[in-house]
Structure 1
Amino acid sequence: MRVAGVVLAAGGSSRLGRPKQLLVHEGRTLVRRVAEAAVAAGLSPVVVVLGARAEEVASELAGLPVRTVHNPAWEAGMGSSLHVGVRALGEPVDAALVMLCDQLRVDAAHLQALAETFARTGAPIVASGYGDTRGVPALFARSVFPELEALGADQGARGVIAHEPSRVVEVALPGGVEDIDTASDLSRLR
């Protein structure tokens, strides 16, 4: 099974006041951390969707075997970045694993567990489970791509995951509810 990675790194992080992709945690920017995890997990290709401060964010990916694409409508919302990322895959893949930059508990092992669960079960959606929800990182089989592309520009993948729960297999992500929206979140999670 060929699983691609789609890293959504286009947002302007309005609540934080600066792009969270460029925040440094344990010596690396958040965008580099997630891209390195995707590469280490064996995802191929890995597409990183850029928007706000695209050149700065892209420079953080230097030397990594990833492809960057620009979402000119990044301000419209996450759905627009999902559209750009899925369309940019270009080559035949069996599934795409969608990731964000601000989930510090996501590592290569968790991404591999999602891909292995897909290979083992053939489930159309393999989502991370944390708190009382299922969310990203989440893997979507090729058959689900049209649903991702049909999302409104301001919608995220959670609606696709929740639409038909019986087709979703969950992989636990301890600490997955912890993300970064403010500077104090980053300080608290260090």
Structure 2
Amino acid sequence: MKKNRIAAIIIAAGYSSRMNSFKPLLKFENGTAIERLVDTYRRFGIEDIYVVVGHRGKEIIEKLKGFEVTFVLNESYPQGMFSSIKKGIMELDKDIDAFFMQPVDIPLIKIQTLERLKNSYARCDKGVFYPIFSEKKGHPPLIDCKYKDRILNSNSDGGLKRVLEVFQEDSLCVPVFDKAILMDMDKKEDYEKLSAYDQQNAPTKEECLEIMVQYHVPDPIIKHCEVVESVACIIYNEVNSCGIYLNEHALFAAARLHDIARKEKNHALLGANMIKSIGYDFVGDIIASHMDIKICEEGPITEKEILYLADKLVKEENICEMDERFGQALQDNRDNPKAIEKINERWLAAKAIIKKIERINGKGFMYE
């Protein structure tokens, strides 16, 4: 087992010339880019965080007042990013075993990504670990300190990427379900996309598929979830057109992921906890009640109720008539009183949700 004193080097020394705004201090939902990164690494458990500053360095130092970080001043920052990378590596404590190399313009990486890289480093006898999403390498790489001197003795041609290419046989690509590893912010449009992504607080369609694939969910279950999402979308659009506003991103993500643990006992709760462990608490809450739900008939319609109903309208990969589905379930379990009681409870809950929708739109409920 390798030692595991791991540091993070955050590069925040450049001009941000293409952005026309200072990247480290651009705002997101929970602080600026530099604050988000420091907080992410700190919450992950990284104690040795080095922030390399240069251009407008005093502003970054002031913004991070109260954070326990080591500031590294790169007076040669006009020479480019590789000079800041070298400066950060030079300042690493001699007892550090490996380090994440983190550009400040990729600020929304997730703790789960860092966890996967760290676990791979602990298990595998390799020197460089890259996160990959949809088969594309992203940031941050995790680099063993055995390559410190090689990096420091390299010239700037091609930057760190060119240096690490030499160690290709000693590297490992680690699949993650974090699109943010590929999302930098060189231009204003990039920042706007990142801000929108941050505000979703839910995995994208691509990320949902990666989650299902990496958890080895069978294709028929993935297809079932896709059909449930399509029905949930129809229901959402119907109530939304009547002035009802819900968290569509969380709802659709929950629909895509609701049966992630379908092969297991108590799969709704287990699946919910799996998604919460990735960092999506509200999505997990919606998933938790897709099998059984308590309906407040006089209350507003909720994301949980829409997913519950959508799931009851899909059998395997096909949209079905609800009465037909529940009627067949009752027939199949006619000798099991407990099962019949549970089926009737679920049927009544689905009917109560339909009544809510009909009160909202003032007409019948259509879902095809």
Normalised by the size of structure 1, how large is the TM-score?
A: 0.91
Does 2:13 align with 1:10?
yes
Does 2:204 align with 1:185?
no
Aligned length, in residue pairs: 190
The aligned counterpart of 2:27 is 24
Equivalent residues of 1:48, 1:67 under 8 A apart = yes
Secondary structure at the counterpart of residue 120 of structure 2: helix
Q: CA deviation at 1:157?
A: 2.1
Structure 1 pair 133–149 and aligned structure 2 pair: CA distance change class (3 A): farther
Unaligned runs of 5+ in 1: none
Aligned with 1:80 (options 66, 83, 90): 83
Secondary structure at the counterpart of residue 8 of structure 2: strand
Structure 1 pair 23–83 and aligned structure 2 pair: CA distance change class (3 A): same
Q: CA deviation at 1:85?
A: 0.5
Equivalent residues of 1:97, 1:140 under 8 A apart = yes
Structure 1 pair 87–52 and aligned structure 2 pair: CA distance change class (3 A): same
What fraction of aligned residue pairs are identical, expressed as a percent? 26
Structure 1 pair 143–57 and aligned structure 2 pair: CA distance change class (3 A): same
Secondary structure at the counterpart of residue 139 of structure 2: strand
Q: CA deviation at 1:153?
A: 4.0
Equivalent residues in 2 for 1:1-190, closer than 5 Å: 1-130=4-133, 133-153=136-156, 155-173=158-176, 174-175=178-179, 176-189=181-194, 190=196
Equivalent residues of 1:128, 1:136 under 8 A apart = yes
Unaligned runs of 5+ in 2: 197-368
Greater RCO between the two (CA within 8 Å, min separation 6)?
1
Q: Larger Rg: 1 or 2? A: 2
Equivalent residues of 1:103, 1:179 under 8 A apart = yes
Structure 1 pair 131–73 and aligned structure 2 pair: CA distance change class (3 A): farther
Q: CA RMSD in A?
A: 1.8
Structure 1 pair 16–6 and aligned structure 2 pair: CA distance change class (3 A): same
Structure 1 pair 51–165 and aligned structure 2 pair: CA distance change class (3 A): same
The aligned counterpart of 2:352 is none
Structure 1 pair 132–42 and aligned structure 2 pair: CA distance change class (3 A): same
**Bigger Cα displacement from structure 2, 126-135 vs 82-91:** 126-135
**Bigger Cα displacement from structure 2, 148-157 vs 101-110:** 148-157
Amino acid corresponding to residue 90 of structure 2 in structure 1 = R
Structure 1 pair 164–89 and aligned structure 2 pair: CA distance change class (3 A): closer
**Bigger Cα displacement from structure 2, 45-54 vs 124-133:** 124-133
Equivalent residues of 2:51, 2:70 under 8 A apart = yes
Normalised by the size of structure 2, how large is the TM-score?
A: 0.49
Amino acid corresponding to residue 86 of structure 1 in structure 2 = I
Structure 1 Cα separation of the partners of residues 67 and 30 of structure 2: 16
Higher strand share: 1
Structure 1 pair 53–153 and aligned structure 2 pair: CA distance change class (3 A): farther
Q: CA deviation at 1:112?
A: 2.2
Structure 1 pair 46–155 and aligned structure 2 pair: CA distance change class (3 A): farther
Structure 1 pair 97–38 and aligned structure 2 pair: CA distance change class (3 A): same
**Bigger Cα displacement from structure 2, 28-37 vs 134-143:** 134-143
Structure 1 pair 112–11 and aligned structure 2 pair: CA distance change class (3 A): same
Amino acid corresponding to residue 95 of structure 2 in structure 1 = P
For residues 30-69 of structure 1, the C-alpha deviation after alignment (integer angstroms, 9 at most, x for no partner) is 0111111111222231100001100111122121111111
Structure 1 pair 79–155 and aligned structure 2 pair: CA distance change class (3 A): farther
Secondary structure at the counterpart of residue 31 of structure 1: helix
Amino acid corresponding to residue 94 of structure 2 in structure 1 = E
Higher helix share: 2
Amino acid corresponding to residue 46 of structure 1 in structure 2 = I
Structure 2 Cα separation of the partners of residues 179 and 41 of structure 1: 21
Runs (4+) of structure 1 exceeding 4 A deviation are none
